[in-house]
Amino acid sequence: MERLARGGASATFPAVSTKAALKSAYVAPLEDVGAADIGFVGGKNASLGEMISVLAKAGVPVPQGFAITVPAYRAFLKANGLEERIQAALGDMKHARVPVAETGLNIRRMIEAGKWPDDVAAAVREACAALKARAGGRADVAVRSSATAEDLPDASFAGQQDSFLNVSGDDAVLDAARKCFASLFTDRAISYRDQKGFDHTKVALSAGVQLMVRAANGGSGVMFSIDTETGFDRVVLINAVWGLGENVVRGLVDPDEYVVYKPLLDEEQLVPIIEKRLGAKAIKMIYARTSDESRTRNVPTSKVEQSSFVLSDAEILKLARWAKAIEVHYGRAMDMEWARDGETGELWIVQARPETVQSQRRRGLFKTYSLKEKGRKVLTGLAVGDAIVSGMVRIVRSTSEIESFPEGAILVAENTDPDWVPIMKRASAIVTDHGGRTSHAAIVSREMGLPAVVGTRTATHVLHDDQEITVSCGEGSDGFVYDGIANFEVKDIDLGSVPETRTKVMLNMANPAAALQWWQLPADGIGLARMEFIINNVIKVHPMALVRFDSLQDQKVREQIAELTRGYDDKSEYFVELLARGIAKIAASQHPRPVVVRMSDFKTNEYANLLGGRQFEPHEENPMLGFRGASRYYSPRYRDGFALECRAIKRVREKMGFTNVIVMIPFCRTPQEADRVLETMAQHGLERHTNGLEVYVMCELPSNVVLAEQFARRFDGFSIGSNDLTQLVLGVDRDSEVLAEHFDERHEAVTRTIRTVIDAAHTVGTRIALCGQAPSDYPEFAEFLVEAGIDAISVSPDSFLSVKRTVAEAEAKYKKKRA
């Protein structure tokens, strides 16, 4: 991945008097070409020219340079008598079954041995001099391949041709351009064109020459204007590494990952960064000190670099705004490369091409995968795709093992590059040690429809040949590898037949990593977002252990928390930032539809299991009815911890811009307790109805039903928690196996209670919903809720469609009955 910079205007390129003359020129300034010139300068150069001529004026900085054109390529072939020889070699490959590797090698040798025609070489040298003058004497450039079949909306041709970094001098530019021409016939390029149905002889190559951005001591990366796994089109995904960005594409390094919500980018005061994942970034690519052919080398990163984000929040937002502008200009989802100059700190966009996988998927049709039984989890990485596959492991160290790779095996490797495509085509899934969502393994896996778990760090050490495993990419943005053959279910979902309903059907959500997976569902928002999942699985530390870190008595716990919060001078900020981003990601999946976030509702035994929790939690014989929910929020035991929750919600709504977030208070026993909680929230900056904040209350206690009108005056809505309400109405421990047969939400005592509170809520004009498992498990219970007049039902995503249809049928039934 090349990193380039724009020069000044102190010199100009050789004049081209007319457009017709330009089309026959051997070199062309990039600012003089555009999207319509793919046949003249190839896909990459046409895209760069389009951005320079149009988007630079809109504030998107794009490097200047020039193209060695397709006419120059054709002149080179003709002058060396190569056209017929190349056609003959390709004919032998097809008819005489000459191997691709032998054919490609022979053609590349022919081209690399060719001589430049004098007039072409002179034009290139003149253009190099002009570019050097414009750059104030700088001579380091990148020479990039740009094929006429490349960066197309339905075929990326990712990594098929070669590019060369840190090239200096006219002779070196001409040599690099000749190697670019030869790379049109790499084994991988020949195979890819065969796969995509392109005629080899009709594909030509241009070479782009641009000044290097000095990213070797800066940073670089890749970004997409769409979520690469779910197709969620309202985010920008950015990967970042130290140094040159080739390591990102090759999957040699685990990059930082940032996700930004696009619709809120126009509001300058907001910071809608909904995810920041710190990558290991163990190595970085820099310029080589020697004049060898590689011109670059990898070196280890420092501990500071490994523990630091490459980009600041301001830089993340700037790149995201550029990505949005580029997407708007092209009218489609885009795949872009960026670089930051280490000397000036300036950011640059160095490439943009159409995204070719998610944007091609037909909306409204998708499969869902759910695990039923699985073995021990052995690896975790980033999920690519959304499928689940079981199979046999085959660890591959090099492309020399292509012939021995069994069809349908699971490919396990340190990383992949374009030469690995023949192996990848034979695999059923892919697992790598290194790489991010924009690595070669990820890009090709998506294009081939293969599930992949990348960046596991230890796959080639933990797994062994012939081991049976299950690769799961159906559980959100994290991918998992389980030991053994798992039992899983696959469902085809067609959203085109989802009926409209008066009763709102919303989603229950806990895991931010899975939130974007369900964005296409026509839900009415999220009726229950559980904060506990984020605290337990992402934060992992008791909030009071962060507030009172200096008083922790367990030294081992102190060390574990210190490691988790590395980089945070304020330990509390660790909790607030991670909780805020988790909530924001859930909120983004439904924005601007409402998202009801329940404040923490751990029981004391559950809180005690968090890091540092045992020091702050009392022992209770019956935690289910103990110190939980609202009673904690104003208590001296937890008040400071609740303050962190409030800070996170305030940040999500006011700094990040997700005003669709509604707060919900669980297990609120009395109206007087409600007053204390609302007062405490106001003290922490969350005052009901200020900045449009709505506050709901869980209806899960008999007191909530008996005193419904008093609660309704204090809150904006009710959400019936059917599990706890059933437990307390029937006096049945919901977790007791002995009493399981008595726990039934359909019991008359429970349904009468629910009907009573629905009527009471409507009497005073308060919204009321139900968020429980019962409507998913029992269609007749969903029908009862519709008949009773519930305003909304919130269910798990995998049961949304069935519940939606049940609700529609029930509404039609009761409408007919009333008529």
**Taking a C-beta distance cutoff of 8 angstroms, is the pair 429, 469 a contact?**
no
Q: What is the pTM of this model?
A: 0.86
- Look up 762 and say whether it is catalytic: no
Looking at residues 665-688, what average pLDDT do you find? 98
Q: Which range among 134-148, 582-596, 793-807 shows the weakest confidence by mean pLDDT?
A: 134-148
* Res 808 pLDDT > 80: yes
Confidence class of residue 16 from pLDDT cuts 50, 70 and 90? very low
Confidence class of residue 18 from pLDDT cuts 50, 70 and 90? very low
pLDDT digits (tens, 9 = 90+) for 756-769: 999 999 999 999 99
pLDDT digits (tens, 9 = 90+) for 543-587: 999 999 999 999 999 999 999 998 899 999 999 999 999 999 999
Q: Which range among 245-254, 364-373, 523-532, 677-686 shows the weakest confidence by mean pLDDT?
A: 364-373
The number of residues making up the chain comes to 819
Contacts (Cβ under 8 Å, ≥6 apart) of 171: none
* Res 4 pLDDT > 60: no
pLDDT digits (tens, 9 = 90+) for 399-452: 888 778 999 999 999 998 877 877 888 899 999 999 988 888 888 888 788 899
pLDDT digits (tens, 9 = 90+) for 311-320: 999 999 999 9
Looking at residues 49-57, what average pLDDT do you find? 88
The predicted structure's pLDDT at residue 353: 87
423 vs 408: CA distance, rounded Å: 10
- Look up 440 and say whether it is catalytic: yes
The predicted structure's pLDDT at residue 296: 84
DSSP 126-192: HHHHHHHHHTTT--EEEEEEEESS-SBTTB--TT-S-EEEEEESHHHHHHHHHHHHHGGG-HHHHHH
DSSP 387-455: -EEEEEEEE--SGGGSTTPPTTPEEEES---GGGHHHHHH-SEEEESS--TTSHHHHHHHHHT--EEE-
How many C-beta atoms lie closer than 10 Å to residue 159's C-beta?
Answer: 23
Catalytic residue among 200, 434, 440, 542: 440
Of residues 155 and 313, more confidently modeled? 313
pLDDT digits (tens, 9 = 90+) for 317-334: 999 999 999 999 999 999
Please give the structure tokens belonging to residue 590: 């439904």
Looking at residues 697-709, what average pLDDT do you find? 97
The predicted structure's pLDDT at residue 365: 64
**Taking a C-beta distance cutoff of 8 angstroms, is the pair 513, 478 a contact?**
yes
Looking at residues 530-552, what average pLDDT do you find? 95
pLDDT digits (tens, 9 = 90+) for 465-511: 999 999 999 888 889 999 999 999 888 777 878 899 999 999 999 88
DSSP 644-676: HHHHHHHIIIIIS--TTEEEEE-S---HHHHHH
pLDDT digits (tens, 9 = 90+) for 22-43: 556 999 999 999 988 999 999 8
pLDDT digits (tens, 9 = 90+) for 636-664: 999 999 999 999 999 999 999 999 999 99
Quick one: what percent of the chain has pLDDT higher than 90?
68
How many C-beta atoms lie closer than 10 Å to residue 375's C-beta?
Answer: 15
Quick one: what percent of the chain has pLDDT higher than 70?
93
The predicted structure's pLDDT at residue 24: 65
The predicted structure's pLDDT at residue 363: 64
Confidence class of residue 292 from pLDDT cuts 50, 70 and 90? low
